[in-house]
Amino acid sequence: MTTTSVPIFADESWRLPSRGTVAMLSLIIGESAIFTIFVVAYIYYIGRSVSGPTPKILDIPIFMTVCLLSSSFTIMVAEHAIDHGRMALFTAFWALTMLLGIIFLGGTALEWRHLIYIDHLTIRTNLFGTTFYSLVGLHATHVIVGLMMLSIVLVFTLLGRINQSHAERIKVLALYWHFVDAVWVVVFTVVYIVGR
Amino acid sequence: MQHQSGPISIRSGLLLAIFLLTGACTAWADGPSAIPNIFAPSTTPAYEIYYLALFVLTITGVIFVVVEGLIVFAIFKFRERRSDPRHEPAQVYGSTQVELAWTVIPVIIVVVLFLTTARILFAVQDEPEPKSALNVTVVGHQFWWEFRYPSLGIVTANELHIPTSTEDRPDPTFLRLLSADVDHSFWVPQLAGKTDLIPNHPNGMWMDPNTPGLYYGQCAQFCGVEHAKMLLRVYVDTPDQFAAWVKNQQQPAVDAPDVAAGRRIFMTEACVNCHAIRGTEAQGTYGPDLTHLMSRATIAAGAADNTPQNLYLWIQDPDNFKPGSHMPAMLLSDQQIKQVVAYLTTLH
Amino acid sequence: MADQTLPIPSPFEVPQTGTAAFLEWLHDWFVTVDHKKLGILYVVYSLFFLLVGGFEAMCIRIQLIIPHNTFVTPEVYDELFTMHGTTMVFLVGMPILFGVANYLVPLMIGARDMAYPRLNAFSFWLTAFGGLLLYFSIIGGFGLYGMGSAPDIGWFAYAPLTAKAFTPGHNTDYWALALIVSGFGTLGTAINIIATTISMRCKGMTLLRMPLFVWLMLIVSVLTLVTITPLTAAQVMLLIDRYLGGHFFDIRAGGSALIWIHFFWIFGHPEVYVLVLPAFGIASEIIPVFSRKPIFGYSAMVAATVAIMFISLGVWAHHMFTVGMTSVGNAFFALSTMIISVPTGIKVFNWLATIWGGRIRFATPMLFALAFLVQFVIAGLTGIMLSAAPWDWQLHNSYFVIAHFHYVLVGAIVFNIFAAIYYWYPKVTGRMLSETLGKWHFWLFFIGFHLTFDPMHVVGILGMPRSIYTYEPNRGWNTLNMVISIGAFIQGIAVLILVWNMIRSHRSGEMAGNDPWDAWTLEWATSSPPPSYNFATDPVVRSRRPLWDLKHPNDPDWKYEP
């Protein structure tokens, strides 16, 4: 059975969406569902703590947020750079993205140290503590995982192994980073604006 | 409020048809029965549900006969026969009109079903509570039922007494459902649909039984190892019976002098940590109130009949009837248990 | 389309010579990333747990055959029904359906493997490990009553029964952890299937030319993304409560028992659609072939399934009509549940229209598929009964519900799984299963199924609740329970016949050839079993039934397909 006996299209090209993008979007949908459940729990329990510190003790983390959201911009520049084969620019902005992510995590760590040791809020203090640390912690975990993946790429870039042909895959990874930032917008709004 | 009694020919014809079809051994019991049949209602809520069920059964019954009939018919008519010609049958890919038809008709059926369902749903669930209603607070425990009558000053356990409620003498009972530990569910099929007892989430239900007698039910939400033996007995009393029962329950505990030994053991052992006997030092609330223990037909939420022999076995080791119940074996001597039982059997 | 000059050995064929060759064969199975081998691993794994879950069901039915029976203690009984439910859903249903998909989807779309073969393997081993972790609880979980306790909190694990205060041992933790782990495996496979169906179709196979089984697996995989993840989230919350002192479900700290129920059913309801939609896909492949007609209303079938996927996300609280939601809330979920019956009914009518006017061949796969059709109608109708919320206030948590969902899980899903086994076993192994044994299996299972699950409706109407290790003798439930238990035994025997058939036919079954059923989709265009690369040359298709086009060059589908 050869292909010639089956009529085929004359001029149509057969193009399908990139599997990397499809897979990453699917992962993002799944992760969004997990975050949604934690957000719903957070919202449901607003104001229901029986005792202990309330969200009033939270300081709005403006600097951290600006850093993290800017990192979406810097990673976009990096994506653009590798698309055009400008590896030096790519490396610089990729590293800058990571730096901004690390600053964000550092900010979270400082905030938590204050909450735990000064305000005496832990995950077991009350409903606010439980839902706060779970939700913000879940997000921070995703930032850490993202940073780990970004650092692998940075290492390979510095070793000279990454070039323009990897642009597609880099963009798939960047999609994950954008997702992490988008989740922060939601978490920030729910925890620091609506919940306070 | 009173449901219709007496058959109407269409309804009883339907009933007969459906019962024959399902082959169910649903005894068309009028009034209470040991068989907690949801199709033998004794209250307005249970009757409304029963009516809805018949309505839905009729519609689904017709759908069943038509659709299954067509499937079985097709299986027989279009089976391959040896005499069939060798070529394939006509290759039909679809038909928009047919698709539309069998979309629109089900939508209409859904609308009809939903409207009836919604009407009965709102009627039963949102029934306003009349001022004269009897209020009982039900507290679910692992693995027994606490019943409090706040307006009457009564606390009892496991066996609920409520009055009949008829058209000329309406006296519905409104239950408030709470839980002391995990999720439970109050289900006495002949009296009402079930409603869950969820900690931190008070629920309510109501019933207006028209026929006196003993109705059976049990916990219907898995609550742990002895969920199966968290049984319910609801005694629907005539107004006189109910008044007599209330009067008795309101009395403090009987204080018979000849069982003083048993009473002393009860009051000095750990029994008082969990149990209350009104009029004595026993004020525990973890376990059932025992003030009028002997007015109940069973012990351990229906796990055993209330006899001196069973009381002995229960106190000796609750695992005899209900392994996993929260009452510990009291480690009393044979003599001590006998004395305690003698005391308890005076608590009428 | 697949040129071969060498006979392809069955994947199960153990080399005859030497330990080294045997070890290499075994090693190959452990490190494989071939979708076909992984599919087989999933199916074999699931069939093993089908026997385990069936054994648990047997024990349950022996305990309930007479009132006040003492076959097992209440503690053990609670472990049995918890493990039975958890095993059947997570270690049988999900893996076997994803396994069948793993095997067939690349073949049906003319691809050489899944989009991410290594992720595929990783996902399988995660799922498998999750199952083993669950069963390790029997020896490892320090329970309230001593060493070793499987979870005993019900497969739904309602809080606060799962709080450390009420369930102090580790069994709940095994339940949560095992399912979190296998949940990630499922997520990986779902992502893989989506990427494969969207990005790896062969030339000419537009989305609307994919076999319906592939369509349904695509929809199921998308649904899985938002189904399994809420359960993972809720289980993480449970573990935070139990180990980090969290208060998600801690009543005294203001936590809510209700929120667990919502989260669980937000997972639990779409989950049953994740289980049933692949079964529908299997039926949509088998019924046309054995009626000798294409599926009636392909586009309507796709549209109806997409509708089911969306609506299924909005019906979850029909499991909660008795928890005390407002009447408006109850009414909303009654309506949404009734609405989902419309697209489901459309599918039933389309299957009916497919066999209508056909030439029905009663081979074993078709027997199971036809029984599915008849039984699924009943399951759907009892579902409508349960959607009438006030009636559900009586039926909820009774044996009527157990009857309904077993009618779907066994009567629809397991029957289709059996149909799939008889239909595709020749493709996987190169040999036909015995038709005689197949018919014995079918009739015994059919009779046993009805003996068990038909009376269950009645005993539920007579007020018997679920999750009880025994019952009172004067309730009128005795005879019915005995009949139910007898039916369970008959089903067990039938399944053993299937296992025997599968083992025996592997050695001595009739050789199948490429296309024993005269079917029309791409998997039948290659050898049985397929070579590791699936197709010698990439297929090119022009209609939904490429093999029909090849077999009927004067009358190809692409001339007529709407």
Read off the tokens for B49: 């549900």
The contacts of residue B105 (CB under 8 Å, 6+ apart) are none
For residues A87 and A159, is the Cβ–Cβ distance under 8 A? no
For helices C117-140 and C35-63, what crossing angle results, to 10°? 30
**Residue C430 in contact with partner chain B when CB distance is under 8 A:** no
How does the average pLDDT of chain C come out, rounded?
A: 95
Look up the CATH number of the domain holding residue C433.
1.20.210.10
**Are β-strands B231-237 and B159-163 bridged in parallel, bridged antiparallel, or unpaired?**
parallel
From chain C, the residues in CB contact with B219 under 8 A are 465
For residues B144 and B160, is the Cβ–Cβ distance under 8 A? no
What's the pLDDT tens digit per position in A126-169? 999 999 999 999 999 999 999 999 999 999 999 999 999 999 99
Among C116, C193, C199, the strongest candidate for a mutation testing the A interface, having the largest count of A CBs within 10 A, is C199
Q: How many domains does chain C have?
A: 1
Q: List the domains of chain B with CATH numbers.
A: 9-125 (1.10.287.90), 257-344 (2.60.40.420)
In the sheet with B231-237, reading across from the earlier edge strand, the strands are B159-163, B231-237, B213-219, B184-187, B195-197
Q: What is the pLDDT of residue B8?
A: 43
What's the pLDDT tens digit per position in A12-60? 678 899 999 999 999 999 999 999 999 999 999 999 999 999 999 999 9
For residues A134 and A121, is the Cβ–Cβ distance under 8 A? no
Phi, psi dihedral angles at B219 (to 5 degrees): -60, 135
Number of A–C residue contacts, CB under 8 Å: 133
Whole-angstrom distance, CA of residue C528 vs CA of residue C513: 6
Q: Is residue B16 scored above 90 in pLDDT? A: no
CA–CA distances in Å: residue C533 to residues C3, C111, C251, C360, C530:
11, 9, 57, 34, 8
Q: What is the pLDDT of residue C231?
A: 98
Q: What is the pLDDT of residue A4?
A: 39
| Binary contact (C199, A16; C-beta < 8 A) | yes
Check contact B-A (3+ Cβ pairs < 8 Å): no
Q: Is B234 helix (H, G, I), strand (E, B) or coil?
A: strand
Burial zone of A17 (CB within 10 Å; 0-12 exposed, 13-18 middle, 19+ buried): exposed
Residue C176 falls within a domain, yes or no? yes
What's the pLDDT tens digit per position in A55-113? 999 999 999 999 999 999 999 999 999 999 999 999 999 999 999 999 999 999 999 99
Q: List the domains of chain A with CATH numbers.
A: 69-196 (1.20.120.80)
**Residue range B100-114: mean pLDDT, rounded:** 97
Closest CA of chain C from B233, distance in Å: 13
For residues A52 and A126, is the Cβ–Cβ distance under 8 A? yes
Read off the tokens for C192: 């893989």
Nearest CA-CA partner of B203 in B218, B226, B216, B187: B187
Q: Which of residues 469-488 of C touch B (CB under 8 A)?
A: 469-472, 474-476, 480
| Binary contact (B222, C466; C-beta < 8 A) | yes
| Binary contact (C327, B194; C-beta < 8 A) | no
From chain B, the residues in CB contact with C355 under 8 A are 71, 74-75, 78
For helices C364-387 and B44-77, what crossing angle results, to 10°? 160
Helices (H), C200-256: 212-244
Q: A touches which chains (3+ CB pairs under 8 A)? A: C
Nearest CA-CA partner of C198 in C213, C225, C218: C218
**Residue C325 in contact with partner chain B when CB distance is under 8 A:** no
Read off the tokens for C115: 């989009």
ipTM, two decimals, is 0.93
From chain C, the residues in CB contact with A130 under 8 A are 240-241, 246-248
What's the pLDDT tens digit per position in C467-520? 999 999 999 999 999 999 999 999 999 999 999 999 999 999 999 999 999 999
Residue C19 falls within a domain, yes or no? no
| Binary contact (C232, A34; C-beta < 8 A) | yes
Which residues, in sequence order, are bridge partners of residue B79?
C360
Containing H/E element for B216? Answer: strand B213-219
Band the pLDDT of A7: cuts 50, 70, 90.
very low
* Domain, as residue range, for C273: 36-560
Q: What is the pLDDT along chain C (562 residues), one digit of tens a residue?
A: 455 556 666 777 665 678 888 999 999 999 999 999 999 999 999 999 999 999 999 999 999 999 999 999 999 999 999 999 999 999 999 999 999 999 999 999 999 999 999 999 999 999 999 999 999 999 876 655 555 789 999 999 999 999 999 988 888 999 999 999 999 999 999 999 999 999 999 999 999 999 999 999 999 999 999 999 999 999 999 999 999 999 999 999 999 999 999 999 999 999 999 999 999 999 999 999 999 999 999 999 999 999 999 999 999 999 999 999 999 999 999 999 999 999 999 999 999 999 999 999 999 999 999 999 999 999 999 999 999 999 999 999 999 999 999 999 999 999 999 999 999 999 999 999 999 999 999 999 999 999 999 999 999 999 999 999 999 999 999 999 999 999 999 999 999 999 999 999 999 999 999 999 999 999 999 999 999 999 999 999 999 999 999 999 998 999 888 7
For residues B147 and B134, is the Cβ–Cβ distance under 8 A? no
Nearest CA-CA partner of C211 in C557, C546, C550, C556: C546
Higher per-residue pLDDT: B1 or C175: C175
HEC profile of C75-137: HHHHHHHHHHHHHHHHHHHHHHHHHHHHHHHHHHCCCCCCCCHHHHHHHHHHHHHHHHHHHHH
Nearest CA-CA partner of C42 in C188, C248, C207, C240: C188
Residue C281 falls within a domain, yes or no? yes
Amino acid at C267: F
Residue C135 falls within a domain, yes or no? yes
Q: Is C314 helix (H, G, I), strand (E, B) or coil?
A: coil
Containing H/E element for B144? Answer: strand B144-149
Residue C18 falls within a domain, yes or no? no
For residues C337 and C315, is the Cβ–Cβ distance under 8 A? yes
Q: What is the pLDDT of residue A15?
A: 87
Q: What is the pLDDT of residue C517?
A: 97
For residues C358 and C292, is the Cβ–Cβ distance under 8 A? yes
How does the average pLDDT of chain B come out, rounded?
A: 91
Band the pLDDT of B3: cuts 50, 70, 90.
very low
Whole-angstrom distance, CA of residue C117 vs CA of residue C127: 15
Whole-angstrom distance, CA of residue A176 vs CA of residue A25: 8
Residue C5 falls within a domain, yes or no? no
Q: Which of residues 144-203 of C touch A (CB under 8 A)?
A: 187, 190-192, 194-196, 198-201, 203
Containing H/E element for B157? Answer: strand B154-157
Smallest CA–CA distance from B69 into chain C, residue: C374
Read off the tokens for C414: 């397991």
Whole-angstrom distance, CA of residue A132 vs CA of residue A187: 10
Whole-angstrom distance, CA of residue B142 vs CA of residue C404: 29
Torsion, Cα C435 C437 C442 C444, to 10 degrees, reads 160
Phi, psi dihedral angles at C270 (to 5 degrees): -55, -30
Containing H/E element for A92? Answer: helix A87-113
Residue C27 falls within a domain, yes or no? no
**Residue C154 in contact with partner chain B when CB distance is under 8 A:** yes
Q: Which of residues 412-431 of C touch A (CB under 8 A)?
A: none
| Binary contact (C229, A37; C-beta < 8 A) | yes
Smallest CA–CA distance from B21 into chain C, residue: C458
Q: B touches which chains (3+ CB pairs under 8 A)? A: C
Whole-angstrom distance, CA of residue B154 vs CA of residue B250: 6
Torsion, Cα C380 C381 C386 C390, to 10 degrees, reads 150
Q: What is the pLDDT of residue C20?
A: 87
Residue C95 falls within a domain, yes or no? yes
Of the candidates A22, A45, A131, which has its C-beta nearest C194's C-beta?
A: A22
Which DSSP state fits B297? Answer: S
Whole-angstrom distance, CA of residue C219 vs CA of residue C131: 25
Read off the tokens for B240: 């006189």
Whole-angstrom distance, CA of residue B103 vs CA of residue C24: 56
Of the candidates C198, C203, C229, which has its C-beta nearest A30's C-beta?
A: C229
Largest CA distance in chain C: 75
Read off the tokens for A109: 């760590």
